[in-house]
Amino acid sequence: MMKKYEELMRLCLEQAQKYRFEVAPNPMVGAIVYDENEDKIISQGVHEKYGENHAERNAILAASDCDFSDKTLIVNLEPCTHQGKTPPCADLIIEKGFKKVVIGTYDPNPLVCSQGVMKLKNAGIEVITGVLEDECKELNKVFIKNVTKKLPYVLVKIATTFDSKIVTQGGESKWITGEASREYVQKLRAKSFAILSGSGTVLADNPALTCRIKGERTPDRIIIDRHGKIPFDYQVFRDDGARVFLATNNLDRDFPSNVIPIAFANFRDLFFKLYDYGVYSILVETGKTILTTLIKQEMADEIYKFVSPKIFGSGLDFVGNLGVYKINECYKLEFCDMEKVEEDILIKAKFRYDD
């Protein structure tokens, strides 16, 4: 039966991810009412918008006058037990008399964690947990960081040669990777609440920092420019509907109406402030200096490194001096995945600062 539960859980995840921005800061959740006796999906539900019905309630409502006493509910996140903008889902599941609930992962929210499972079990409902747990956590990694740290999830994107260079000794950096890798980056932008870049990158390339995929939202932009070097006629400051956060300590200027200046002491301070503005995830597309600082301040969560089959031999490395003199002082990562992107290789890894 576990294979069937996994199949249904994948369907929950597939449906849930469609509402990434609509449900934030809530998690992405999908639910299925399933008849094990007939091997039949009775109904499906998704959390579609923040403040509105959760996935479990939508799946139950879609089942109409169904007898739930012999039915199984599949859901990728533990049902809530607290009264928020909507009533507790665990109470509704108990009220409807479900026989079994299959859960992907526990809710990291301290208001919920394990309490939903306990409440269901105490009501006599069979509960199975941990079905595709890693995939369920991966889907809601932004939510997990948000709810446990009150900080945005920070993903670093970097494109390097095989010998980890990002610029030739002559100063050229376009294009190191192929077109397929650049299209992949557009998909990353589409999933991100904001894109962060620094004054060096902006002054050198005058990038637009938009998502070029038709129909996708334009992410907010975060520009690190402590000394106010970038002219406001650069592309990153244009008014295209996205918010532009200018992280700077030079506040003695007249800012365009779409630019929000933020004074900051360090990245933790900046990210706390951005979180309060509703920036729940950040895609970092910047150079060596900012990346090095992010790592030293332990503020980067994950890195996607696109590796091109080219060797420069000299030039600029993608990361600078981290103050590591002994092997046991190094910054550690956990490799998560690796895939071929036409001629390039994409390596995905998560930072493990506590190891």
Give the active site residues.
56
346 in Cβ contact with 306 (< 8 Å): yes
> What are residue 75's DSSP bridge partners?
31, 103
Q: Which residue has the tokens 């610029």?
A: 167
Which tokens is 49 given? 């918008």
- The neighbour count for residue 166, using CB atoms within 10 Å, is 19
Q: Which residue has the tokens 């999908």?
A: 30
CA 37, chain centre distance (Å): 37
d(CA 10, CA 16): 10
